[in-house]
Amino acid sequence: MLKIAVLGGRETVMGFKALGLEAVPVSKNEEALAAFKRLTRDSGDYAVIYVEETYAKALSAEIDKFKDSPTPAVILIPGREGSLGLGQSALQDAVVRAVGSDIL
């Protein structure tokens, strides 16, 4: 059975744990990179990995490796400070790749 993980700051991810998702709290970019590599090492284990936008820039090279793969789907979510707009931008890029034009 495929799993779902949420990687981000403790305040962001712990609420997801109550929903049955794997919470991966990190506090530094280096921790986020190591955790993301661990989660994707066997990419067949996870269907979805949610990543807090705060850590997206530090993980951009690793995230890009999976943008054309069906699993894991890497989805950026806002942190407790609010959205940085990265998730919306990533969604818009995916729609342009899939449809051929910006329909959002």
Cβ-count burial of 49 within 10 angstroms (0-12 exposed, 13-18 middle, 19+ buried)?
Answer: buried
The stretch 1-20 carries a mean pLDDT of 91
Largest alpha-carbon pair distance within the chain?
38
Find the mean pLDDT for residues 46-74.
89
Whose structure tokens read 């707009």? 85
Superfamily of domain 3-99: ATPase, V1 complex, subunit F (3.40.50.10580)
pLDDT tier at 67 (50, 70, 90 boundaries)? confident
Backbone angles phi, psi at 64, to 5 degrees: -60, -25
The residues with which 82 forms a beta bridge, in sequence order, are 79
pLDDT digits (tens, 9 = 90+) for 33-49: 999 999 998 657 899 99
